[in-house]
Amino acid sequence: MSSSLVGWKDLPLGAVAFISAKEYPTGEWAVFQPKIDESKCIKCGLCWMYCPDSVYRWDGESVPVPDLDHCKGCGICEVECPTKAIQMVRV
């Protein structure tokens, strides 16, 4: 029996979603937000890399800065930070 449903293997390579959340602040309902201790930050970029919502702005040299208007407070950045420079604080 064949299925007419499309699966992930049927999608063309390089498919992208044309949806952006830039115009929709989602951080308003966050309970926690990241606070970065700049003296501990080694600028490794792991917070920038692992953030599922891409809220960190980073130029590759300075301390990454979270966009709190879009941060949902998941805490992945805190877990991935090797120097514990990020602490999730209650809003």
If you average pLDDT over residues 66-87, what whole number do you get?
96
Quick one: what percent of the chain has pLDDT higher than 70?
Answer: 84
- Is the domain defined by 8-90 classed in CATH 3.30.420.40? no
The C-alpha atoms of residue 81 and residue 18 are separated, in whole angstroms, by 30
Domain ranges of the chain: 8-90
The C-alpha atoms of residue 59 and residue 17 are separated, in whole angstroms, by 25
Does residue 1 carry a pLDDT above 60? Answer: no
pTM: 0.75
pLDDT tens per residue, range 20-63: 567 788 888 899 999 999 999 999 999 999 999 899 999 999 99
Upper half-sphere CA count for residue 78 (Cβ side, 13 Å): 12
Upper half-sphere CA count for residue 4 (Cβ side, 13 Å): 0
